[in-house]
Amino acid sequence: MARKSSNSGGFLFKSGVFAVLAGLAFWLFNHFGGKKTDTPIDEKPPIEIPDSSDKPATPVSESQVPQSILPKSSGELVEHTWFSLAYNEDHEQAEWVAYELTRTRLNENWAERPNTFRPDAAVRTESATPRDYSGSGFDKGHLCPAADMAFDATAIDETFFMSNISPQQPAFNMGIWRELEELTRDWARKFKKLYVVTGPVFSGNAQQIGFSKVSVPSGFYKVLLAPDQLKTIAFVLPNSMSDKPVMSYACNIDRVEKSTGIDFFPNILNGLNEELEASLDPEAWPVNAGRQEQRIKVWNLKRE
């Protein structure tokens, strides 16, 4: 029994020593071998990111179009980075396209025109396709012009979504419509900033083209608002070649609203500003007479 007692005592002694060593090792690990508490000189301390659960991060591709300029209509709202639109499934094109046009953006170096016409995946009901226009005799006419978005590669590329395209007579597209687009850029430089809304006008039983049955508009409108000067003007032009002055198609916003059923700038032209919808001051919107002459003598003849 004495030998058994000795063995038991030795076991207890060894267990005690092991426990002491284990405790010492644990203490050394926590103080010298565990997570470092000092930041190395060549590393910056981590940035503390605040809780943003109630304020989601803004993605790069989020729309830069002011929500206050969007019209009211029945179409499906589709928002791209630099323009927004309401897509009309019955006509397979936008009811309106809205965007901001500024002097600063127009003065940027122009990005290369991509000419990458393609369906718009953002349209829930599916947009028209480039094939719908093949052999139709109609141009794939931009509603938001590529030149208005040439300040940025993404911006100009997005204008080639088919949701931004409408069937236009070639002589109209490269004639009076081109002149109005160029005048709009002139006015944006003059006023420093414009809000622009553009879209088709339909009357009667419209011709349809392609597998998607894209309706051919009888005309097109453009509604402009210079917000800093509170100046407005609108245009309704037939979808055909014209030798008439652009200003012969100028009108007030009320007329376009009656023709389309769309409420333009409802968040801006209300209250005291509501009277601007009925106003028209052509003198505030100067026209380049040389450009009109070029349209009649060159642009119209090229596309007859």
- Catalytic residue numbers, as ranges: 142
Residue type, 188: A
Give the whole-angstrom CA distance, residue 61 versus residue 87: 20
Name the residue among 240, 256, 237, 245 with its Cα closest to residue 282. Answer: 245
Given a contact cutoff of 8 angstroms between Cβ atoms, the answer to whether 156 and 235 are in contact is no
Name the residue among 209, 233, 232, 235 with its Cα closest to residue 220. Answer: 235
Cα torsion 295, 301, 147, 85: sign? positive
- With a CB cutoff of 8 Å and minimum separation 6, the contacts of 71 are 86, 96, 98, 197, 262, 263, 264, 265, 266
DSSP state of 132: G
| Concatenated DSSP letters of 49-115 | PPP-TTS----TTS--S-GGG--B-SSEEEE-SS-EEEEETTTTEEEEEEEEEEHHHHTSPPPPP--
3-state secondary structure of 16: helix
DSSP state of 228: T
